[in-house]
Structure 1
């Protein structure tokens, strides 16, 4: 049973990394500049910190490997939103020049052929 759990954890990490790689590529195409990936502050991790024009974006990436699963964006709960705020506060302590910030969710769902369905939900709160 432990082997299955480790395998599932490894698979989730692989899916998450692939999703974040894809997210960066997608965001670049949308005119974003990637500033940080997997930025850590205290016990939080921000998947992507990017800028577009004069706005700093804190982006949570959620990726699923099946079109039949729940929507990836529904995996972002209130606890994760609190962590996003805490991580942003830590980043802004170090980079206080930013006046306009935004919190976004990038939901990615890969189908069996590894074609991605992407939804960028901007300014979630």
Structure 2
């Protein structure tokens, strides 16, 4: 695992912990298909939550939320629909009663101090 992958994995671990603290059940992590990857799929009450996780160190890349461009948001919606069809509807036969939401968990790792973890709901 290279440094970039390790950074991403660490951020995803922090994100999963934050989501659990908010009462979400993690259903799957790092789901992949030929079209891309979903970082975290969780259930919150009767809703399905697809979470994109972006981890950054301070520098030129800016806040993690800036990474969710309109193009990235469209891709997340397509991947969420595919996961829903292949995993959820195939098992339960219907869409979750609470619908599907796409969130972002942004993780900033400062040079000193604790990581900053921000959960932004409904980004796409």
TM-score range, shorter chain: 0.7 to 0.9
Contact 1:67 1:109 in 2 (8 A): no
Deviations 1:29-73 (A, max 9, x none): 111100010111332100000011001001000001227751111
Residue 19 (structure 1) aligned with residue 11 (structure 2): yes
Provide the C-alpha distance between the structure 2 equivalents of 1:93 and 1:69, rounded to a whole number of angstroms. 34
Which segments of 5 or more consecutive residues in structure 2 lack a partner in the other structure? none
Residue 35 (structure 1) aligned with residue 34 (structure 2): no
Partner of 2:44: 52
Q: Secondary structure at the match of 1:66?
A: coil
Q: Does 1 or 2 have the higher relative contact order (CA < 8 Å, sep 6+)?
A: 2
Report the TM-score when normalising by structure 2.
Answer: 0.85
Report the TM-score when normalising by structure 1.
Answer: 0.84
User: What is the RMSD of the two structures over their aligned residues, measured on CA atoms?
Assistant: 1.9
1:82 positional shift = 1.7
- Give the length in aligned residue pairs: 117
Contact 1:33 1:52 in 2 (8 A): yes
Which segments of 5 or more consecutive residues in structure 1 lack a partner in the other structure? 1-8
